[in-house]
Amino acid sequence: MTELKIEAALVAAENDKRRAALKADYHALGEQLSRRGIDIDAVKRKVAAYGVAVPSWGVGTGGTRFARYPGKGEPRNIFDKLEDCAVIQQLTRATPTVSLHIPWDKVADLGALKQRGEALGLGFDAMNSNTFQDQPGQMHSYKYGSLSNADAATRAQAVEHNIECIEIGEKLGSKALTVWIGDGSNFPGQVNFTKAFERYLDSMKAVYARLPDDWRIFSEHKMFEPAFYSTVVQDWGTNLLIAQELGPKAFCLVDLGHHAPNTNIEMIVARLIQFGKLGGFHFNDSKYGDDDLDTGSIDPYRLFLVFNELVDAETRAAAGFDPAHMLDQSHNVTDPIESLMISATEVSRAYAQALLVDRAALAGYQHGNDALMGSETLKAAFRTDVEPILAMARLENGGAISPVSCFRASGYRAKVAAERPAVTGSGGGIV
């Protein structure tokens, strides 16, 4: 029996307040969709089966490089974080797994961590390594790079850390390692682009050699930050080269915030799918750079267009198509649990809307060069308010019709604030 962090009776009472209205809305939407030839229950079943992983680092208040303003009842360690993740899953039923970051989530007793995950009904998604910070007692500094560092001993240390992440993940039941490095340069002339990339590839090959047969490795590109002139894994082109160079277990991870403004991310997604190298996502939203804002909060149409490519691939059963879906956000002014619940819902919403696209009509318009109707076909799906489908899927899966209202009514934050001592707010946030 899964341990519930919010009382089931409270969730039921909250749902009772909204059940009749939801039924009416679901029925009305069902009629509208059936006129468009869509079976609402079929869409709901797909949405109900959909899940996105919560980043362990997302449940604490993030921050910027200027300041961090801690919230009340912040998780003190990975066990507290798992409890917060369990709340998100209990109410949304859309986040069955957690993605860990090492060493932030490192614990001595991995058996206890696995057990705690099981008790809370949570699995472990991709492991994330961290060679973009120095840790206390670390022999070699990553100030001038990690996997691409000019110094062989520093590279070896970074390789070892990634192997340790795999070993930890094996004990927890994870099946993937995500590697993001901050390596790059701030000045023209600081590094030799070719040599740095050669060193990176050599290091990644050493990590890849240690990857279990049923694991995947995801490399994550990012245009800039913390390096501001050049980055070793700067874009999807370099990322694709990495995945192709490493082998069949290597794939590209697309963090939506890691591109230049106005980049056509959905097209990058299509290209990676076409060549069997889309590994997964870090969902978030951004206006300027790697803003790590809540998914769908700035440009929900772009999120929909990404999902349009995913559903297109799913519909035609594209070879090797099995991307991992994860959130990667930083919450500075909201309660992280609320932000993550809304974000998970936004990802499900984009999926549901993409399922409504009339793909036969779209193909016809594309063949006939009818640009306007091609666009209108996508817009018709995007404009549809699918909230009743999302809410019904949550309700039938045991979640809350309105997760945020239910969370607020539960008093969970005040309760954990009493148990978890306040932390100080000095220093910048995470990357």
Number of residues lying near ligand LRH (CB under 6 A) = 11
Given a contact cutoff of 8 angstroms between Cβ atoms, the answer to whether 388 and 352 are in contact is no
Given a contact cutoff of 8 angstroms between Cβ atoms, the answer to whether 362 and 316 are in contact is no
Of residues 290 and 314, the one with the C-beta less far from Mn ion: 290
Helices (H), 120-220: 152-172, 193-209
Q: Does 282 bind ligand LRH (CB under 6 A)?
A: yes
- Residue 89 binds which entry of Mn ion, ligand LRH, none, CB below 5-8 Å type-dependent: none
2 Cα distance to chain centroid = 24
Of residues 289 and 300, the one with the C-beta less far from ligand LRH: 289
CA angle 50, 53, 55 (to 5 degrees): 160
Of residues 227 and 390, the one with the C-beta less far from ligand LRH: 227
Minimum CB separation from ligand LRH for residue 29, in Å? 36
- Residue 430 binds which entry of Mn ion, ligand LRH, none, CB below 5-8 Å type-dependent: ligand LRH
With H, G, I as helix, E, B as strand and everything else as coil, classify residue 280.
strand
From 121, 48, 9, select the one nearest 391 (Cα to Cα). 48
Amino acid at position 103, single letter = P
Burial (CB < 10 A; 0-12, 13-18, 19+), residue 56, is buried
Measure the CA–CA gap between 117 and 340, rounded to whole angstroms.
18
DSSP codes of every residue in 321-369:
---EEEE---BSSS-HHHHHHHHHHHHHHHHHHHHTS-HHHHHHHHHTT
- Residue 215 binds which entry of Mn ion, ligand LRH, none, CB below 5-8 Å type-dependent: none
Exactly one of 14, 220, 335, 346 binds ligand LRH (CB under 6 A); which one? 220
Q: Does 431 bind ligand LRH (CB under 6 A)?
A: yes
Of residues 81 and 282, the one with the C-beta less far from ligand LRH: 282
Of residues 219 and 384, the one with the C-beta less far from ligand LRH: 219
**Type and span of the H or E element at 178:** strand 176-179
Q: Does 409 bind ligand LRH (CB under 6 A)?
A: no
Minimum CB separation from ligand LRH for residue 231, in Å? 11
Minimum CB separation from ligand LRH for residue 234, in Å? 13
Site for ligand LRH in 44-83 (CB under 6 A): 57
Measure the CA–CA gap between 131 and 368, rounded to whole angstroms.
51
Q: Does 328 bind ligand LRH (CB under 6 A)?
A: yes
- Residue 84 binds which entry of ligand LRH, Mn ion, none, CB below 5-8 Å type-dependent: none
Site for ligand LRH in 243-262 (CB under 6 A): 255
Site for ligand LRH in 180-209 (CB under 6 A): 180
CA angle 235, 237, 240 (to 5 degrees): 110
Of residues 417 and 431, the one with the C-beta less far from ligand LRH: 431
Residues at the site binding ligand LRH, with contacts judged by CB under 6 A: 57, 128, 180, 220, 222, 255, 282, 290, 328, 430-431
